[in-house]
Amino acid sequence: MRVDDPVARLRAAPARWWAGEAEVVRTYFSRPRTASDDARWLKLQAARELGAAARQANEAPAMFQAVEATVERRDLEAAVRVVYEEVRHYRLLADILEEITGAKPKAAELLAYAGTLKERAGHRELPALSEHIAVVKKLTERYGELTETVLKFFEGGGAAIFYSGSKLLDYPYVSYSNGAVERKIAAAMKIIFEDEMRHGPIHIPDVAAQLRTDADFRAAEDIVATKAKAHLRLRNETFGYPLTEERMQEIDAGIGIESLKIDYREITPVSPYSA
């Protein structure tokens, strides 16, 4: 695509990998699984949501001090809303986790698995998470501030796992609960999907507007592809490796994968669950 169609070009850059993340979820639920299997991914995803909320809450005080000076009041409102929504994601997932396990999750244990705090850190039990963090650090070293600019729209991985999870009841799944757990997961994922559309993909036009030349776009596409490959493997790890490495390499190459039927063009500024 030409640079005179920057939004479409940027939107296309991660499409195969975001579709791959949705495939991770579909594949996971299509196979026999146990309550322990669900508890594992719920724990890991709840950890990421809690960590994201904690990081952004820690950044908020500086925005309060700068409002009406270098921070617009609308931007402050949006930042605080994101903190609320990330906490909501944590609560939705932790509620299901507690119901499955019969025990409250421990915040300190979860935060160790988060990988989303201000000081990004992996975990010895999660090599793909650790590698993902290392990849983003290397991209920042290579491209500097451009990495942060480009990845602004990548938060939530295009909301792909949440989109797929919200459609859980629409495709064949195997259940140990006669569908009860799946209904709760689908309902939670629907809310998180709508929120995450406003956290990441809504920023695609803003990011595209900051890329001036074809060289900018080539660098952006390298950042997106490198990040997306690592992020797909992080998602696969979260769900207990439903996809083989061979299949993920096919997705990397665009083999047997189609873009998700998600309209990233017209996203309202506020989630319908936060309006």
pLDDT band of 1, cuts 50, 70, 90:
very low
What is the rounded average pLDDT of the residues 32-38?
Answer: 97
pLDDT per residue as tens digits for the range 224-270: 999 999 999 999 999 999 999 999 999 999 999 999 999 998 899 99
| Mean pLDDT score of the chain | 94
What is the rounded average pLDDT of the residues 28-39?
Answer: 97
All structural domains of the chain: 6-113+122-252 (1.20.910)
What is the rounded average pLDDT of the residues 175-184?
Answer: 97
Q: Which of 92, 102, 11 is nearest to 49 (CA)?
A: 92
Does 119 have pLDDT greater than 80?
no
pLDDT at 270: 95
Phi, psi of 202 (to 5 degrees): -60, -20
pLDDT band of 212, cuts 50, 70, 90:
confident
Whether the Cβ atoms of residue 22 and residue 56 lie closer than 8 Å to each other: no
Q: Which of 202, 268, 153, 205 is nearest to 5 (CA)?
A: 205
Instruction: Give the range among 42-51, 116-125, 190-199, 208-217 with minimum mean pLDDT.
Output: 116-125
Does 88 have pLDDT greater than 70?
yes
Does 29 have pLDDT greater than 60?
yes
Does 135 have pLDDT greater than 60?
yes
